[in-house]
Amino acid sequence: KAQHLHHVLLMAVIIMSVSVALADRFSALSHWLEGGVKKSNPTPYLSNISLTLGTANGRIYSYENANMSLNTKRLLGSGSKWAAATALLSMIDAANASLDDPISKYLSWWSRDERDSRSRA
């Protein structure tokens, strides 16, 4: 599991460091995805990859391999936690939210009942 986590974290770092302005980096990313991942780690977790990067203006990069297309549906599980944390911390950085705010401030359906421990989250 630790090796899988290492590769997932490495993938997250690569994705987050891709520069929109330099198209050369996308060819390096494609090369790494096509060759490096398959050779260094033949696990099904990293041999089944599709990836889309974009900005507010639209898609800037897409990658898919023979095992997984951009339209393949998979159960995501905990894989979205880092993206959700990044979005939340971006909101906090922009002063649109605070770590001290209760979740119910942003999710109207979240418990506000003081007897429910979730209301204090």
Listed residues 74, 90, 105: the one ending a domain? 74
Do 67 and 86 lie in a common domain?
Answer: no
Range of the domain at 116: 78-121
Residue 44's SS3 state is helix
The number of distinct structural domains making up the chain is: 2
Cα–Cα distances in Å, from 31 out to 34, 37, 46, 60, 99? 5, 9, 14, 17, 39
- pLDDT per residue as tens digits for the range 84-120: 888 888 888 887 778 888 888 888 898 899 898 888 8
- 45-81 tens-digit pLDDT: 566 778 888 888 888 888 887 778 888 887 777 778 8
- pLDDT band of residue 3 (cuts 50, 70, 90) is low
Asked whether 92 and 98 are in contact (CB, 8 A), the reply is yes
Question: Is residue 42 domain-shared with residue 7, that is, in the same domain?
Answer: yes
15 and 57 both lie in a single domain: yes
